[in-house]
Amino acid sequence: MYKPIIGLEIHVELKTKSKLFCACSNNPDETKPNVNICPICMGHPGVLPVINKEAVKKIVKAALALNCEIAKSSEFYRKLYFYPDLPKGYQISQDISPLAKNGFIKIDGKKIRVHEIHLEEDVAKLVHPQGEDYSLVDFNRAGIPLIELVTEPDINSALVARRFAQELQLILRYLNVSDANMEKGQMRVEVNVSLSSEHSKKLGTKVEIKNLNSFRAVNEATNFEIARQKKLLEENKKVVPETMGWDDEKRLTFSQREKGGGAFSTEDFHAPEPNLFPLRLTDTYIEKIRSEIPELPSQREERFKKEYHLSGKEIGLYVIQKDLGEYFEKVVSELNNWVKAKKLKEKITGNEFKKLVKLASNYISTDLQGLLRGASARGEDFLITPENFAEFISMIYLGEISSKIAKTLLKEMFGAGGDPSQIIEEKGLRQITDETELEKIAKDVIKKNPKPVGDYQKGKEEALQFLVGQIMAQTKGKANPEKINKILRKLLS
């Protein structure tokens, strides 16, 4: 039996105003090529790089959130190689003197250790026009601050590899250090995979799969590679140490180059960067950044579990969708205000309030969530204030509107952003609770439906439900169902 051993190397672009060593804009949405460039990021002779403070702050923040030790002094090196995506002929990196070490992320309670996190600059983007015999280079990306995170080989399944990458993305988003959008190439994952015999401590030969740009690809490429290596080993063949790519269409890994490379290998060719001082950080600086770390996803999950009685699915949604989780909490606080203002404190305590919160969460995680998805696809804004949403929930709670009206009302509120009681008036959605009015409608329905009336009087209970349905249809769902029931029974007895 073989056990998969997996380690990850993940590159993430930091969200900063400017590039790592120059004042060029770091704009991930720039579509025009080669506009955010200058002599510094183009590597013209005689220029001097200057370190971007915001980038340093953000990598320190990320490293602290990932439980790393921060090096108080770290250095920059030139990683030398020749490739068209590298204007200077070298990449400035801290990979042999990393800023942070020895961290971890917990997945399902198990620590996946982070070996190091370091700062480096991104390279240019190569564009290969289809059917042409040339490639184009867009240097906008060259010099954008990147962090590289390297894990220990602590992962044993494709699923955990994927979960690690997802958790990292979420943490970086909570910290606002990166959008880490994989589709946009802001987060790129490299998976290292080897197999070893179940009981042996010796690690097998590893293969690296480069540039995975979706979580699905991380999962599939890892599983594909595990299966490929297993087959080789079972046939007594050797796994060759190599760098592979992932073909997202054919769903398979393919060899790019063998590792080691022989005499012409430029891997690990480094020279000190003479134009940058070592990066020296004081304790005060580090502690100040530590104090700015917000609640992290795993902490929010724990807190929500303790504070609210919600399903795991709902909590998961509020952790993954940070903004929605914040919205939910604002609605809860508005519901609290509503209970206080209406002097309902005696009636709505403890379990009753939990019911109210659950009702709110129900609507937020289903109906509202659905409307939000549609709106963001259309690029629309979300206009319901937490206060108005809380009022909407209180109306359902008090039985002032039926669930049918609630859905209509929510759609109206979503589009217009208005307050629910006003929309109810304007759109004529108010529930009919006036007994004389309801009696009039009931009498009319009784007159028009002699057969069901007869059936009911002969003892057929279902016939009453039919009549209730008729009244609901006539009032477009606005009649108060409890009251109609009572009135019908009275009129037919």
- Residues interacting with ligand ADP, by CB under 6 A? 5-9, 150-153, 192-194, 203-204, 206
Give whichever of 38 and 286 is closer to Zn ion, judged by the CB atom: 38
Instruction: Between 55 and 150, name the residue whose CB sits nearer to ligand ADP.
Output: 150
**Nearer of residues 56 and 445 to Zn ion, judged by Cβ:** 56
CB of 67 to ligand ADP, least distance (A): 17
State in angstroms the smallest separation of the CB of 167 from ligand ADP: 16
Of 241 and 370, nearer to ligand ADP (C-beta) is 241
Torsion of the alpha carbons at 179, 182, 183 and 184, rounded to the nearest 10: 50
Q: In the complex, what is the shortest distance from the CB of residue 337 to ligand ADP, in angstroms, rounded to a whole number? A: 50
- Which of ligand ADP, Zn ion, none sits in contact with 192, Cβ below 5 to 8 A by type? ligand ADP
Quick one: what does residue 152 bind among ligand ADP, Zn ion, none, with the CB cut-off 5 to 8 Å set by partner type?
A: ligand ADP
**Contact residues for Zn ion (CB under 5 A)?**
22, 24, 38, 40-41
CB of 144 to Zn ion, least distance (A): 10
Rounded Cα–Cα distance for residues 388 and 417 (Å)? 9
Residue 222 partner contact from ligand ADP, Zn ion, none using kind-dependent CB cut-offs of 5 to 8 Å: none
With CB cut-offs between 5 and 8 Å by kind, which of Zn ion, ligand ADP, none does residue 5 bind? ligand ADP
The smaller minimum CB distance to Zn ion, of residues 54 and 242, is found at 54
Q: Residue 38: name its binding partner from ligand ADP, Zn ion, none (Cβ under 5 to 8 Å by kind).
A: Zn ion
To the nearest whole angstrom, how small is the minimum distance from the Cβ of residue 190 to ligand ADP? 8
Q: Which two tokens stand for residue 218?
A: 């991380």
Number of neighbouring beta carbons within 10 Å of residue 25: 15
Residue closer to ligand ADP, measured from CB, 116 or 122: 116
Q: Is 332 exposed, middle or buried (0-12, 13-18, 19+ CB in 10 A)?
A: buried
The residue number whose beta carbon is nearest to ligand ADP equals 7
Q: How far is the CB of 115 from ligand ADP (least distance, A)?
A: 6
Neighbours of 366 (CB within 10 A): 11
Minimum CB–partner distance for residue 22 and Zn ion (Å)? 3
Give the residue with the Cβ less far from Zn ion, 22 or 372: 22
- Beta carbon of residue 151, minimum distance to ligand ADP (angstroms, whole number): 5
8 A C-beta contact, residue 300 and residue 317: no
**Cβ within 8 Å of residue 391, ≥6 positions away:** 334, 338, 419, 420, 421
Return the one option of Zn ion, ligand ADP, none that residue 409 interacts with (CB less than 5 to 8 A, by type). none
Residue 236 Cβ, how far from ligand ADP at the closest point, in Å?
A: 19
CA end-to-end span of the chain: 77
Question: Would you say 89 or 374 has its CB closer to Zn ion?
Answer: 89
Q: Measured from the CB atom, is 7 or 49 closer to ligand ADP?
A: 7
- Which CB atom, from 140 or from 192, has the smaller least distance to ligand ADP? 192
Residue with Cβ nearer Zn ion (55 or 410): 55
The least distance separating ligand ADP from the CB of residue 278, rounded to whole angstroms, comes to 22
**Min separation Cβ 268 and Zn ion, Å:** 27
Nearest to 252 by CA among 229, 233, 228: 228
48: Cβ contacts below 8 Å, ≥ 6 apart:
40, 275
Distance CA 245, CA 257 (A): 9
Residue 41 binding: pick among ligand ADP, Zn ion, none (C-beta 5-8 Å cut-off by kind):
Zn ion
Nearest approach, Cβ of 155 to ligand ADP (angstroms)?
8
Q: Which does 24 bind (CB under 5 to 8 A by kind): Zn ion, ligand ADP, none?
A: Zn ion
Closest to ligand ADP by CB, 243 vs 485, is 243
